[in-house]
Amino acid sequence: MNMVNLTIDDVQVSVPSNFTVLEAARKAGINIPTLCYLKGINEVGACRVCLVEVVGGRALAAACVNPVTEGMVVKTNSNRVRATRRSTLEMILSDHNRDCLACIRNKNCELQDLAERYNIRQVTFEGKMSEPNIDDKSQSIYRDASKCILCGRCVAACEKQSISVLSFLNRGFETKIGPAYDISMADAPCVYCGQCIIACPVGALHEKEEDQNVFDAINDPKKHVVAQVAPAVRAALGEEFGLPMGTRVTGKMFAALHRLGFDKIYDVNFGADLTIIEEGNELLNRINNGGKLPMITSCSPGWVRFAEFYYPDFLDNLSTCKSPHQMEGAIIKSYYAQKKGIAPEDIFVVSVMPCTSKKTEASREEMFNPTTGQRDVDAVVTTRELARMIKTAGIDFMKLPDEGPDNDLIGDYSGAGVIFGATGGVMEAALRTVADILEEKDLPDFEYKVVRGVDAGIKEAELNIAGHNIRVAVAHSTAAARKLLDAIRAGTAPEYHFIEIMGCDGGCVCGGGQPQVKAQDLMDIDVRELRAKALYEEDEIREIRKSHQNPDIIELYKNFLGEANGHMAHELLHTHYHAREIYPDSVLAEEEN
């Protein structure tokens, strides 16, 4: 790569020729403000907050899209630049609902940060400063258009997911962002992955909150409240309390949950191990008995909705297994309830998840027990919601000792469960078990690193196990899923046996319910790698690293479920999916009326 020499604020800089002024300045230790910019997603120079003065240029230039040139001289802090940025910010604020104290993003808002940086105490422009304009009909995503600054980051994130549910509507002063036909998110063909929330720099988008419902249940003496926490949460929760990204906070996480007042706390590693037993045996049954191949994982509810909307011809390929937290919820309200002598209707199951789509998944009709009429999971809170609950309760997270989950009936033993949070983790955990079953022995080499990593959206491998050539693929993000499924449809892909698909880029560690990372920080780090590293570290320290060796899983089948994929297992742990219509006429007609 050719290098280019330029001067930024009297600092000599040498950078690759494909750098923008924004990137070059950052290398020189100069932080140019941005608002619409999001590395690799939204690089359009629309908000004009990053304007700089290029000596010899006629007008100020947007640093995020302006390429460097040899000998360029740039001023990022001249009076002209500062005054222009301040005016731009004031104009944005004039049309923004500035009820910051009541905003979910208070003290974690990129617009608020910039207003403080440029010492904006009052807004001199007169805008319409919108009243709250709320869409809260979906189970997963809450929108308030009055806080939207039209930066386009959510639109770009949705487009990167190859869904494009969100777009710019109308023109001029009437411009806004929303689903086509200006319908609710509840009626749009949205998969609720929450990547729009992660991209949003302000409080215009966030998860549909359930934390108060959980507090109400905890304080209801008639309810036995059980929390179960997903693997990816421990890799990110610490960020909400100022810890470096990638810090594993498993012990403090469980300690905080105990202090919040839950009656029991379990790890979804158990549900992940259970998923592997059911899914692994389902795969072997399909291979041995001429079943539908490739079999595709069904752990990610965002991916499942994507298939239902956009690839219904692949629904028979999906595993019939419920996702891990739904499986564990079903076991809590059956096996656990029976052993503890508690009526299922008196048990309130709370899932702590890195995912916003899990909220909608838990409310699906298919996730109700047909015998009792009870939901498997009663409430889903995101990693962010858990952090807010901890702060509301006055718990000093950093001073907590390390504690573990409860280990009666539903134990936390397997490292195979914890790696579910990273892309490739479900595949690797499945291979660890399937290989042992086929080889009929405990294999010492069981780290399938070929399916790890985030460099490629699609990873492929062919493994020889007990004389069988098993072809697998891993895709993370719905955009990668679309590419892979299109290739299978066209007959240009290999004949896979097993495919893992996760709805979010990087897997659950980058789910829509995880801590938000500011655009400036994303210029320097890869969130996917740092958070996944924490999960693989935990896997490595576990004594048991294969799902089928989890003693509580063995006990569950022996005393309750019977055989894997058997009658009881299918009744409690398996489900079905159905095609969904994109923008059905009934919805459009309702919107018109």
Crossing angle of the two packed helices 425-439 and 269-289, in degrees rounded to 10: 60
**DSSP state letters, 359-411:** HHHHTSGGGB-TTT--BS-SEEEEHHHHHHHHHHTT--GGGPPP-----SSS-
Active site residue 240: no
Candidates 23, 361, 385, 428; catalytic one: 361
540 is catalytic: no
- Taking only Cα atoms into account, the Rg of the chain, rounded to an integer number of angstroms, comes to 25
CA separation for the pair 411, 270 (Å, rounded)? 6
Active-site hit among 193, 508, 510, 538? 508
Which residues, at least 6 apart from 455, have a Cβ–Cβ distance to it below 8 Å? none
Q: How many CB atoms lie within 10 A of CB 517?
A: 15
Q: Kindly report the number of other CB atoms within 10 A of residue 82's CB atom.
A: 12
Query: Which domains are assigned to the chain?
Result: 3-77 (3.10.20.740), 119-207 (3.30.70.20), 211-573 (3.40.50.1780)
Mapped to the 3 state alphabet, what secondary structure does 1-59 carry?
CCEEEEEECCEEEEEECCCEHHHHHHHCCCCCCCCCCECCCECCCCCCCCEEEECCCCC
Q: How many helices (H) and strands (E) does the chain have?
A: 21, 18
One pLDDT digit (tens) per residue for the chain, 593 residues = 799 999 999 999 999 999 999 999 999 999 999 999 999 999 999 999 999 999 999 999 999 999 999 999 999 999 999 999 999 999 999 999 999 999 999 999 999 999 999 999 988 887 776 677 899 999 999 999 999 999 999 999 999 999 999 999 999 888 999 999 999 999 999 999 999 999 999 999 999 999 999 999 999 999 999 999 999 999 999 999 999 999 999 999 999 999 999 999 999 999 999 999 999 999 999 999 999 999 999 999 999 999 999 999 999 999 999 999 999 999 999 999 999 999 999 999 999 999 999 999 999 999 998 777 889 999 999 999 999 999 999 999 999 999 999 988 887 778 899 999 999 999 999 999 999 999 999 999 999 999 999 988 999 999 999 998 999 999 999 999 999 999 999 999 999 999 999 999 999 999 999 999 999 999 999 999 999 999 999 999 999 999 999 999 999 999 999 999 999 999 999 999 999 999 877 666 665 55
Residue 533 vs residues 229, 238, 341, 417, 437: alpha-carbon distances, Å = 18, 14, 40, 15, 28
Distances from the Cα of 238 to the Cα of 231, 305, 423, 522, angstroms: 14, 30, 21, 17
The span from the CA of 539 to the CA of 482, in Å, is 30
Q: Which of 239, 278, 282, 538 is catalytic?
A: 282
Catalytic residue among 90, 209, 366, 460: 366
Query: Packing angle between helix 324-331 and helix 269-289, nearest 10 degrees?
Result: 110
Among the listed residues 109, 299, 321, 504, the single catalytic one is: 299
d(CA 516, CA 393): 22
Predicted local distance difference test score (pLDDT) of residue 590? 63
CA–CA separation, 376 and 325 (whole Å): 9
Q: Which of 140, 298, 319, 547 is catalytic?
A: 319
Q: Which letter does DSSP use for residue 462 in this model? A: E
Which residue out of 333, 358, 359, 546 is catalytically annotated? 358
**Catalytic site includes residue 319:** yes
Query: Given this model, what pLDDT does residue 469 score?
Result: 93
The string over 405-439, giving b where at least 16 C-beta atoms fall within 10 Å of a residue's C-beta and e elsewhere, is: bbeebbbbbbbbbbbbbbbbbbbbbbbbbbbbebe
Any catalytic annotation for residue 299?
yes
Going by C-alpha positions, the residue among 389, 392, 338 that lies closest to residue 227 is 389
Tokens 């838990």 belong to residue = 362
Residue 279 among the catalytic residues? yes
Is 358 among the catalytic positions? Answer: yes
